[in-house]
Each structure stands twice: as structure tokens, then as C-alpha cells.
Amino acid sequence: MSSLTLAARDASTMLRRNLLHARRYPSLTLNLLLTPIMLLLLFVYIFGDTMSAGIDGGAADRSDYIKYLVPGLLLMTIGSTTIGTAVSVSTDMTEGIIARFRTIAIHRGSVLVGHVIGSVLQSIISVVLVGAVGVAIGFRSTDATVLEWLAAFGLLTLFALALTWIAVGMGLVSPNAEAASNNAMPLIFLPLISSTFVPIHAMPGWFQPIAEYQPFTPAIETLRGLLLGTEIGHNGWLAIAWCVGLAVLGYFWSTSTFKRDPK
């Protein structure tokens, strides 16, 4: 077998292990789903009338606000799921089993790749679940073509991959699960200060750059454009650049941290 085949085989073994964990102990994943779902229901049913007054120059109603809200919450779901990734990577690293993996002749990166693929799959499942809640309360796309749906799906996957690599790095540098959870807070905090809930132009001037120059806003705007037909503009390229940049950064950060001698 070539080294690439072996690497793929080891990674798939590790992936099976991570999926087994997720299946046996789904509570962590499900708990993380609660935040985006609760925010969705809260903002639609409790704040919905007020919030909708702020978009489309006041001509929108609650059902328009559902449309506005769902894309951002789908991306927030990914952020929330990857907090779980950071926690589980950090917990895993404190276990003796990782030391065992390091002393077997397997592909070195397979432990991390298994975590990443497992986490991306979990993110996709979570996005589908939150999306289903969105559809149940009235979210519909505005004549999105099959190609646009595929692009939306691709963007969500790429975004999940990028945040997951970052979360893996956060998990690796955290000494324990609590620290990992704290270190990964930006992943759930950033979507709160993005264009998820209100348009950037409705924010105070000094805050607009903060909301604009971060990965969530361009990804949200791109997703809105794909599903609702709004203007994407330069956000498409920005979103992809953010994703690729974060994925590459997270990859090198994680692998170099993992390669270091364990304490």
C-alpha cells in the first residue's frame, strides 16, 4: 500500500472512532445545537416584530425576518458545533490513548484529520437540523437554483472545515476541557456581532468595521445571496478567502502543535 493509501486508511479509522464517540455521547453535540435554535425562536417569536422593522426600511414583516435570520444562524450553528470540537480534542489529548497513537506506526496526522472530518460531518448534520427548524417555522428560499443550493452547501462545508481546523488548534493548546471551551468562545461570539441579526448599516458607525471585517459577515451575506437572491458583490470572494485562510492557518497551527513533544 502506498503511503497515501495508508494515511487515508488511518484517518478513516480515526474518523470511525470519533463518530463512535459522537454516536455514544450525543449530548455534547445536541447541547451545542440549543443555542442557535433558541436564538432563532427568540428572535423570530419574541423580538420578531421589532427586529423586522429594522430591515427593508420598515416594509418587512416577521416572515421576512425569518428569511433574514436563518442564513446567519446556520453559520452560527457551525461556530457552535466547533466549540464542541475544541472541547473534545482537548479532552482527547489528556487521555492516555493519544500517547498510544503516537507510539504506533500510523500516519501522524490521522488523529487530527479524523477529528476534523468527524467534526465537519457533525457540523453539516447540525446545520441540516437547524435548517429544518427554520423551514418548519416558515423559512423558504427565493427561487434558488440547484446550482445555488449546491454552492450554499459548499460554502457551509468550507466554512465548517475552516472553523474546525481553528477549533482543533484551540483544543490542542488548551490544557483542559474548560479552557478549550473558553478559548473557543469567539466562534460563537463572532456571529453575534456580525450581520446575523441586523444589517451592518443599521449599526453605529464606529462598530461597523468590527462587524464587517470578520469571517462571519461575508459568509452570511454570500449565503443570503445564494438562497434569497440578494446582492453578493465582493462578499463571495471575501468569504472564500476567509475560509481558505482560516483553514490553512488552523491546519498549520494544529499540526505543528500536535507534532511537538507532549508534556
**Chain contacts with another protein (rule: CB under 8 A):** 1, 6, 9-10, 13, 16-17, 20-21, 24-25, 95-97, 99-106, 261-262
Nearer to another protein, 16 or 201 (CB): 16
Nearer to another protein, 1 or 4 (CB): 1
CB of 77 closer than 8 Å to CB of 33: yes
Considering the complex, what minimum distance in angstroms separates the CB of residue 164 from another protein? 20
| Three-state SS annotation for 9-57 | HHHHHHHHHHHHHHHHCCHHHHHHHHHHHHHHHHHHHHCHHHHHCCCHH
Nearer to another protein, 22 or 223 (CB): 22
Considering the complex, what minimum distance in angstroms separates the CB of residue 13 from another protein? 4
The CA-CA-CA angle for residues 12, 177, 254, to 5°, reads 50
CB of 122 closer than 8 Å to CB of 29: yes
Nearer to another protein, 100 or 205 (CB): 100
CA 69 to chain centre: 16
Considering the complex, what minimum distance in angstroms separates the CB of residue 29 from another protein? 14
Nearer to another protein, 21 or 140 (CB): 21
Considering the complex, what minimum distance in angstroms separates the CB of residue 251 from another protein? 22
Nearer to another protein, 13 or 181 (CB): 13
Can you say whether residue 257 is alpha, beta or left, with left for phi > 0 and alpha for psi between -120 and 50 degrees? alpha
Reading the block at residue 58, the C-alpha cell is 420598515
Considering the complex, what minimum distance in angstroms separates the CB of residue 3 from another protein? 10
Considering the complex, what minimum distance in angstroms separates the CB of residue 95 from another protein? 7
Considering the complex, what minimum distance in angstroms separates the CB of residue 22 from another protein? 10
Nearer to another protein, 57 or 96 (CB): 96
CB of 33 closer than 8 Å to CB of 126: yes
The CA-CA-CA angle for residues 187, 193, 199, to 5°, reads 130
CB of 58 closer than 8 Å to CB of 155: no
CB of 92 closer than 8 Å to CB of 115: yes
